[in-house]
Amino acid sequence: MDITNNPNEIAIIVALAYLLAGLVKGIIGIGLPTTAITIMTFFISPLIALGLNLIPMTVANIWQFSKADNPKEVIVKYKYFAISLVCCILITSFYAEQIGDDLVRLIFAFAVLSFVCLQIFGFNFKMKPNQDIFWQGGLGTLGGLVGGAASIWAVPVTMYLLMKNVKPKHFVDASGFLITIGCIPVSIGYIATGVFQPNMFVFGALGSVTAVLGFQFGEKLRNKINPKTFKNLLLIFFSLAALKMIIETLIKLNIF
């Protein structure tokens, strides 16, 4: 679907995708770009979805991090993760447009499946305190390599915070910071290479509004529904959508 020829349809898709994605993030604390991009790729190309995702992802995570108990402490504590993440995203985000829709779709689909496996099977490895800088640098680098190409670096962030066995509120605060800080270099790369275009700004602003509304509603629902059941249904949807993207891409590439 062409963003310039179908502005009304794009507006509806973006508004609903980020309303649902914000709802998901409000309930379980993660999953906004994963949910929104997954939904949008049913209707538009992955590269357009990456561009449209830029503003809502940034706004929603700034909103999340603004509610952190001690933002300065979080920044200092995770500075090595942030530095490695930013440096690698700044490099890989310049290649998203070059690798094209098919490879972006595959990278995104495999990242989503990795996220699903992490949530289903858990991650019980616990780091030693003296290994913290090593894991911050290593998983920050991994997040940057995947994040620049597909706008999803939540898997390494989640792995790292699970390895630290942080409390739920701290998980929300730290993930909000690390996703927010990654938005800076990915914005530079996407704007420079044309993945994000000026005509996407209005749609991104619309998505930001519905994402925040969904996030606030999700926070209110957090204690009224069973988060585990909700998460399981969401993971099933992610799995089916990712498998669909992989199969469609392989067929398009004549691998099947």
Torsion angle (degrees, nearest 10) of CA 156, 173, 23, 14:
-70
Identify residue 28 by its one-letter amino acid code: I
Residue 2 lies in a domain: no
Q: Is 155 a member of any domain? A: yes
The first and second tokens of residue 250, run together, are 């392989």
- Computed over every residue of the chain, the mean pLDDT equals 86
Task: Report d(CA 107, CA 72) in Å as an integer.
Answer: 33
User: Is residue 174 in a domain?
Assistant: yes
What single letter denotes the amino acid at residue 82? A
Is residue 113 predicted with pLDDT exceeding 90? Answer: no
Q: Is residue 197 in a domain?
A: yes
Residues 6+ apart with CB under 8 A from 202: none
Q: Has residue 231 got a pLDDT over 80?
A: no
Task: Please name which of 83, 93, 107 lies closest in space to residue 57, comparing C-alpha atoms.
Answer: 93
* pLDDT-based confidence at residue 80 (cuts at 50, 70, 90): very high
Spatial distance between the Cα atoms of 196 and 21, rounded to a whole number of angstroms: 20
Average pLDDT over residues 58-65: 87
Number of structural domains, the chain? 1
CA distances from 126 to 116, 154, 156, 167 (A): 20, 18, 14, 14
Residue 57 included in any domain: yes
222: containing domain? 7-252
Determine, yes or no, domain membership for 195: yes
The reported pLDDT for the residue numbered 123 is 61
Lowest mean pLDDT among 44-48, 106-110, 174-178: 106-110
pLDDT in tens, 116-171: 887 777 666 678 888 899 999 999 998 898 888 888 787 788 888 888 878 878 88
